[in-house]
Structure 1
Amino acid sequence: MCKAEFLTVAKPSESLYTVKKSKFISNVVPIKDNEEAEDYIKKIRKKYWDATHNVYAYVLGLNDDIQKFSDDGEPSGTAGKPVLEVIKSNNVKNVLIVVTRYFGGILLGAGGLVRAYSESASRGLKNSSIIKKIRCNAYKITTDYNMLGKVQWELNQRNIIISDISYTENVQMNIYVPIIYNIDLEQLISNITSGSALIEWVGNYYATQ
């Protein structure tokens, strides 16, 4: 059964955190599958080819179906696992975090490494902005310009998500109705426009509210 909603990140980000002269660069990115995750890890390793470590962790699936991490040479349990725990504790899905470390010459110890990688990952998530995705029924509505304002007002009153609007001979808009809403959209639009609007169901999607 598909979840009605989940948390993820809005955008990729890069963050710098320095502790005892070691630099920790956190790259956070939303991902769709294993292939995309592994390709991005390779990209980061190539970009920071001279780094001491490129640690990563990612979670895929709305039930955390795939969880993967790597310490990349750091002592076991001090790097990749803490980054993974940051992802899980924030309950975000379909997210990859790569933390690149440039060693500053001062040993941090096991506890210091755990704290540093956790803090770097947390800052990265914050900079990527955690957002909520809601499972919706998607529709395309075509109406004339005279009805546009009324349709928009009625949809906004019900917190229905209005996406792209294109203005041609008529007005076309893509809208998303959260599945948890008990709304008969076709009947609603028909009532608003006296049956003049065209309503097409497109499918089920996760949209940002």
Structure 2
Amino acid sequence: MRDPRPVLARGARAETVVERSRFLCVLEPVRDAAELDAVVAAVRRAAPDARHRCTASVLGEDGEQRRSSDDGEPAGTAGAPMLAALEGAGVTGVVAVVARWFGGVLLGTGGLVRAYGGAVSAALARAEVVPRRWVDLVEVRAGLATAGRLEAELRRRHAPEDVRWAADGWRAVVPVPVGGRAALGAELAADGLSAHLADLGRAVRPAGPLSPGG
């Protein structure tokens, strides 16, 4: 199974100057179209005197949702090269907005393509990219008598999520490598720990070592 595309840990900015025209790229991680539109609106408010505020975005686990806008620049000279820079980095869940202040010198089609694509590339160079992977989520349940030791072992070897204690028992969700439920059960059994395991489905998590089998 192919891993999902990486995302940005946080936003980044970069400013470039080409033939006296100033280009400011704002790069932000976004989860959906609403967050994307909010970032674009914020840049428009922050740079009301810019002649153009062009955009490109990639959304979806596999980057299947793509949008771009030239915002008054000649067709294909701004949004498309910005989108190409994002695609070249292989990221998703991201929007790039480039504000341009005209410096009095016409850049021509090729110059605009290089300037807008270069502005996004400069911001990407400053961004922290987070690789991700698919995991299986396994629910682990146990009685209160063994829950303390079980939780301690899981925290030592894994990264349990949604840990809950209740009067009738203990439960947690453990992300494991795809197909790793059986290995998790064998690991707990080898430690003499009794627990009930149930599959909760597949999810995406930041890449990193996962045990067992990862």
Q: Secondary structure at the match of 1:42?
A: helix
Number of aligned positions between the proteins: 201
Partners of 1:172 and 1:105 in 2: how far apart? 65
Q: Which amino acid aligns with 2:54?
A: V
Question: How far is 1:82 from its partner?
Answer: 0.4
The 3 A distance-change label for structure 1 pair 3 and 33 is farther
Q: Which amino acid aligns with 2:102?
A: F
Q: Which amino acid aligns with 2:33?
A: N
Q: Secondary structure at the match of 1:204?
A: strand
TM-score by length of 1: 0.78
Please name the residue that 1:6 is paired with: 5
Of the structure 1 ranges 120-129 and 141-150, higher mean CA displacement relative to structure 2 is found in: 141-150
Where in structure 2 are the equivalents of 1:124-143 lying within 5 Å? 124-139=123-138
Partners of 1:148 and 1:61 in 2: how far apart? 34
2:185 aligned to which of 184, 187, 192: 187
The 3 A distance-change label for structure 1 pair 117 and 195 is same
Identity of aligned residues (%): 27
The 3 A distance-change label for structure 1 pair 174 and 11 is farther
- Kept in 2, the 8 Å contact 1:147–1:193? The answer is no
1:88 aligns with 2:87: yes
Question: How far is 1:64 from its partner?
Answer: 3.5
- Kept in 1, the 8 Å contact 2:154–2:160? The answer is no
Q: Structure 2 regions of 5+ residues with no counterpart?
A: 208-214
Partners of 2:127 and 2:173 in 1: how far apart? 26
Partners of 1:40 and 1:182 in 2: how far apart? 39
Please name the residue that 1:27 is paired with: 26
Of the structure 1 ranges 193-202 and 36-45, higher mean CA displacement relative to structure 2 is found in: 193-202
Deviations 1:58-100 (A, max 9, x none): 1222344322111111111111110011112222222211111
Question: How far is 1:36 from its partner?
Answer: 2.1
Q: Secondary structure at the match of 1:124?
A: helix
Partners of 1:13 and 1:174 in 2: how far apart? 33
- Kept in 2, the 8 Å contact 1:16–1:120? The answer is yes
Partners of 1:59 and 1:146 in 2: how far apart? 44
TM-score by length of 2: 0.76
Deviations 1:144-167 (A, max 9, x none): 665667545555xxxxxx26698x
Please name the residue that 1:205 is paired with: 203
Q: Secondary structure at the match of 1:6?
A: coil
Q: Secondary structure at the match of 1:5?
A: coil
The 3 A distance-change label for structure 1 pair 126 and 201 is farther
Partners of 1:172 and 1:123 in 2: how far apart? 46
- Kept in 1, the 8 Å contact 2:136–2:180? The answer is no
Partners of 2:76 and 2:20 in 1: how far apart? 22
- Kept in 2, the 8 Å contact 1:151–1:192? The answer is no
Partners of 2:35 and 2:101 in 1: how far apart? 25
Q: Which amino acid aligns with 1:83?
A: M
Please name the residue that 1:55 is paired with: 54
- Kept in 2, the 8 Å contact 1:59–1:65? The answer is yes
Please name the residue that 1:159 is paired with: none
